A and B are shown apart, each in its own frame.
Chain A
Amino acid sequence: MNAIALLNAAKDGILTGSVYALMATGLTLIFGVMDIINVAQGILVILGAYLSYALSVHLGIDLFVGLLITIPTLFVVGVVIERVFMARLKGPEKTAMSILVTYAVSLLIEGTLNTVFSVNVVQLQASYVTRSFSIGGVHFGFIYVAGFVMAAVLLSALYFMLYRTRFGVSVRASLADQTSAALVGIDVRRVSTICFGIGVAVTAAGGMIYGSTNAFNASTSYDLISRLLTIIVLGGMGSLGGAMLAGVSMVFIGDVVGTVWSPVWSTMSYFVVLVVVLLVRPQGLFGKQSARVA
């Protein structure tokens, strides 16, 4: 244990955490606008990773160039899931039902991925995946930095869309109150569909980085989704800024705990942090103190 090791852990936490923040932002956006908990987000990340894998292995398309194909593809997947399954969910049990339906969807995808790609773990390969550079004794893996930059760009784009465009105003209105938004003439259905598409599309980018920094197969998604859910609850469900802060701080805390004590406790630290925070602030860091909803 020395200062350099701690610095490395902090750096990893911030770089990797930003990618988690990106994936969690999609999840919290979907929840905020639609009151839907998309449990399939984990497997969709893996689907994104497998798409990048297929493109690079079979067609020789570079991972980053491949995103131009995988991001729109997953957007369409999201829109289809929303139209076919989510649009039918109504009534007081909507959120609970959404967990079950998206879980069933994730089983469908998991079964398909197991059949198509087998259950052997793979990892995305490219010349730059293993390359790194160092500044003042701190090593930077190229792919981690690229992931951080990409997450920052995409999150900025998302923020620009939400706060500087007319569509963004509709989204924020729907986030605040769906009924009122519909009353002032916002097409909440359309906003929901597009938000679900966007929320799923970010998994393509997240999945590409995840797939090149971790070996994965379809069942890796359980670990992912539990982390992502923890992040959005910690940040406050439906809060975009909360998801980002929580994403970075969760991985940061996990990495520091892993360095200071032992890596085996790093996964557990997320959950302990979550429980402690919720005891003090039941609505999460930035959650609205919402009315009781069924």
Chain B
Amino acid sequence: MRQKKNLWWLPAIALFGFFPMWVSNPSYMAIAVLTLLYMACATSWNMFSGYSGYVALGSGVFYGVGAYTMALASTHWHMAPGAGMFWLVPLGGLAASAVALPIGWAALRVRRHTFVVITIATLFIFQNAAFNFSFTGGSAGIALPFIQWNASYYNVPFYYVALGILIFITVVSAVVRRSRFGLQLLAIRDDEDRALGLGVKVAAVKRAGFTMSAFTIGMAGAVYAMFLGQIYPQFAFDPFFDISIALMAFLGGLGTLTGPLLGALILEASQQYFTVSYPYLYLFLYGALFLIVIMFMPQGVVVFLRDRVTKKAEREKAAVASNEAAVAGVAS
């Protein structure tokens, strides 16, 4: 029954696939590229934090490491500016995973609440390091090889690469959700001690999930660096990024597959809109929107809507049943 219902992705892929053909305005396309990257990051974040209940607020580290990997590799290897640089995207993901290994080893030794705070601390360590090491260019940042694509066409390759990353992580996240590994992560969320008692190797599972989730965020960071053409420590290692992707997952529905996708779509698009339309008040509007959703739909939009639909179906079913009972009563 579940398999039959889950065909939402077909029209979604079609819609996203043809989007650049309808919309040619470069500024809307730029928003679309960022939105896709955020959707991928939120899904990847959810694959670890949503499934396991370990809320990580330092994912900006992986985004930044991916971005710096792209910037450093492309400048040091004197790459020709252009589509060839996209080959470095998986390298950004690998670098992020490599960084996630020791962080996960240290940070996952502690309880959930402390884990949140340590992940925040790691972000500031990395941002500070990026400001102060000489190879990162300090506060001046790094300029990537300048890509001379036509302005009307510039965003399109990025759009499709971002879409590819998004599809990749959505499939991975769906596979993990249905796998034994995913069940182990969910068991950790529900009751870590009992999961341990039942033979789940909780430490190894958590570390593996954390490292896997870093990979896609690193790839997205690499695309982001290439898209901007210039990176600075405060953009690459951005505390707002951490909280944004967590919000997106919470807004849509933590631990669900479609939740982070929908949450990122709503939040990133509205944030871009608010930022442009209300440069001073946008934080206020963003915060208010966010509060309304948390207070009234604490389970997230997806779960809220799903409950609504199932409840309505149940009510109709109940109504039909009582009608039938009444009819039966009259007949007898």
Name A's B-contacting residues (CB within 8 A). 31, 35, 37, 85, 88, 93, 95-97, 99-101, 103-108, 110-112, 114-115, 222, 226, 229-230, 232-233, 237, 264-265, 267-268, 270-272, 274-275, 278-279, 282-284, 290, 292-294
Query: With an 8 A cutoff between CB atoms, is B246 at the interface?
Result: yes
Contact A111 B283 (CB under 8 A): yes
Contact B121 A99 (CB under 8 A): no
Query: With an 8 A cutoff between CB atoms, is B270 at the interface?
Result: no
B243 contact set on A, CB distance < 8 A:
103
- Nearest residue in B to A282 (C-beta to C-beta)? B110
Contact A107 B284 (CB under 8 A): yes
Contact A99 B122 (CB under 8 A): no
Pull 9 A–B residue pairs with CB atoms less than 8 Å apart, ordered by A: A37-B113, A99-B55, A107-B283, A111-B280, A115-B280, A226-B121, A267-B124, A274-B118, A274-B121
Beyond A111-B281, A268-B125, whether A100 also contacts B250 by CB under 8 A is yes
- Nearest residue in A to B103 (C-beta to C-beta)? A275
- Nearest residue in A to B138 (C-beta to C-beta)? A264
Contact B106 A275 (CB under 8 A): yes
A265 contact set on B, CB distance < 8 A:
128, 132
Contact B110 A278 (CB under 8 A): yes
Query: With an 8 A cutoff between CB atoms, is B163 at the interface?
Result: no
Contact B55 A96 (CB under 8 A): yes
Contact B53 A294 (CB under 8 A): yes
Stretch from B37-45, B177-185, B210-218, B291-299 forming part of the interface with A: B291-299
Query: With an 8 A cutoff between CB atoms, is B306 at the interface?
Result: no
Question: In the docked arrangement, what's the CA distance between A258 and B239, Å?
Answer: 24
A292 contact set on B, CB distance < 8 A:
111, 192-193
Contact B109 A278 (CB under 8 A): yes
Name B's A-contacting residues (CB within 8 A). 53, 55, 57, 106, 109-114, 116-118, 120-122, 124-125, 128-129, 131-132, 189-193, 239, 243, 246-247, 250, 254, 280-288, 290-291, 294-295, 298
Contact A100 B247 (CB under 8 A): yes
Contact A110 B283 (CB under 8 A): yes
Question: In the docked arrangement, what's the CA distance between A283 and B239, Å?
Answer: 24
Contact B114 A226 (CB under 8 A): no
Contact B291 A278 (CB under 8 A): no
Beyond A233-B118, A294-B191, whether A104 also contacts B111 by CB under 8 A is no
Question: In the docked arrangement, what's the CA distance between A111 and B112, Å?
Answer: 30
Contact A105 B291 (CB under 8 A): yes
Chain A min CB distance to B136 (Å): 13
Question: In the docked arrangement, what's the CA distance between A155 and B117, Å?
Answer: 24
Chain B min CB distance to A260 (Å): 16
B121 contact set on A, CB distance < 8 A:
226, 229-230, 233, 270-271, 274-275
Contact A293 B120 (CB under 8 A): no
B112 contact set on A, CB distance < 8 A:
95-96, 293-294
- Nearest residue in B to A96 (C-beta to C-beta)? B55
11 additional contacts, CB 8 Å, given A97-B250, A114-B281, A271-B125? A31-B113, A88-B295, A105-B291, A111-B281, A229-B117, A229-B120, A268-B132, A271-B121, A282-B109, A290-B111, A292-B111
- The 7 A-B pairs at the shortest CB distance, nearest first, are namely A111-B284, A107-B287, A111-B283, A108-B287, A282-B110, A268-B128, A104-B290
B116 contact set on A, CB distance < 8 A:
37, 96, 99
Question: In the docked arrangement, what's the CA distance between A88 and B298, Å?
Answer: 10
Contact A278 B106 (CB under 8 A): yes
Question: In the docked arrangement, what's the CA distance between A9 and B291, Å?
Answer: 43
A271 contact set on B, CB distance < 8 A:
121-122, 124-125, 128
Pick the contact of B284: A31, A99, A108 (CB < 8 A): A108
Pick the contact of B291: A85, A114, A229, A274 (CB < 8 A): A85
